Amino acid sequence: MNYRIAYSFGFHPWEDAAVDPPFVAKITELFEREEEGRQPPYGSVLDIGTGSAIWGVELAKRGWQVTGIDIVDKALRRGRERASTAGVDMKFVQGDVTKLEHADVGAGFRLVLDSGTFHDFDEARQWAMGRGITAVAAPDATLLLLAWPKRRRPLIRGASREEIERAFPEWEITHVEPSHFRLPKPMQWLLRPDEHWYRLRRP
Ligand SMILES: C[S@@+](CC[C@H](N)C(=O)[O-])C[C@H]1O[C@@H](n2cnc3c(N)ncnc32)[C@H](O)[C@@H]1O
């Protein structure tokens, strides 16, 4: 998908997930799992392809120290506004997540979140993103990665479990769980997202 064009037309259906109770309940459960047994501040998060920072701001409100990176200016502008309205601090970086080594994101992230970026990349870019994330993540980091299954469809390529394993060879998939994301009926039928959260850790 060309995200620059999508944002310029105000086309961002993934943001509807924020008002879809089953999706919100599931992502909240995933965040709670990473916070279990600890008190805020929980540590640093890198929000990959943060978009308008819906989930980055949510994590900041929960007590994480969040850095969001996105390639599209307009998305970042909306993200800054969202953070300011919510009254939370969040660092925003404009950059390419397949070239993280050139982006000023920092390192040592305890949590890396990707809600919808990796699964639109070809394998070369998936590997580049995997190498970049591995370099900036803390040794005991968790990666939460959302992916549609790989199949022929318009707009989103999707990614298979094997592709995720190849892009993150030093990581281990610990959980695969449905996200409960729902599109409006005609889009659901056309795109068949059937998306899942993959949770990865380094053994
Ligand atoms: C499906 S949207 C998800 C946005 C956000 N994570 C959310 O859940 O609301 C994917 C995001 O990845 C960003 N993106 C796509 N390719 C990128 C790249 N190479 N580097 C950085 N961001 C990218 C897009 O601009 C878009 O904001």
Output the residue whose Cα is nearest ligand 1's atom 8: 115
Predicted local distance difference test score (pLDDT) of residue 154:
79
Q: Which domain holds residue 68?
A: 3-192
Looking at the structure of the chain, the number of domains it has is: 1
Amino acid identity for residue 155 in this structure: L
Distance separating alpha carbons of residues 139 and 148, to the nearest angstrom: 27
Predicted local distance difference test score (pLDDT) of residue 56:
98
Amino acid identity for residue 76 in this structure: L
- Rounded distance from Cα 112 to ligand 1 centre (Å): 14
Amino acid identity for residue 142 in this structure: T
- Rounded distance from Cα 117 to ligand 1 centre (Å): 5
Predicted local distance difference test score (pLDDT) of residue 96:
98
How large is the C-alpha radius of gyration of the chain?
16
Predicted local distance difference test score (pLDDT) of residue 155:
83
Q: Could you say which DSSP state residue 52 is in? A: T
pLDDT in tens, 184-193: 888 888 888 8
pLDDT in tens, 56-95: 999 999 999 999 999 999 999 999 999 999 999 999 999 9
Let me know if residue 147 belongs to a domain.
yes
Q: Could you say which DSSP state residue 14 is in? A: G
Q: What is the CATH number of the domain that holds 157?
A: 3.40.50.150
Ligand 1: lining residues by beta carbon, under 6 Å: 3, 14-15, 49-51, 54-55, 69-72, 75, 96-98, 115-117
Let me know if residue 33 belongs to a domain.
yes
Ligand 1 atom closest to 72 (CA): 25
Let me know if residue 197 belongs to a domain.
no
Let me know if residue 31 belongs to a domain.
yes
Predicted local distance difference test score (pLDDT) of residue 114:
98
Residues of the chain where predicted confidence (pLDDT) is lower than 70: none
Let me know if residue 52 belongs to a domain.
yes
3-state secondary structure of 172: strand
CB-CB contact of 151 with 195 (8 Å): no
Predicted local distance difference test score (pLDDT) of residue 192:
84
Distance separating alpha carbons of residues 54 and 169, to the nearest angstrom: 29
Distance separating alpha carbons of residues 63 and 68, to the nearest angstrom: 15
pTM: 0.97
Let me know if residue 198 belongs to a domain.
no
Let me know if residue 200 belongs to a domain.
no
On average, the pLDDT of the chain sits at: 96
Distance separating alpha carbons of residues 83 and 51, to the nearest angstrom: 12
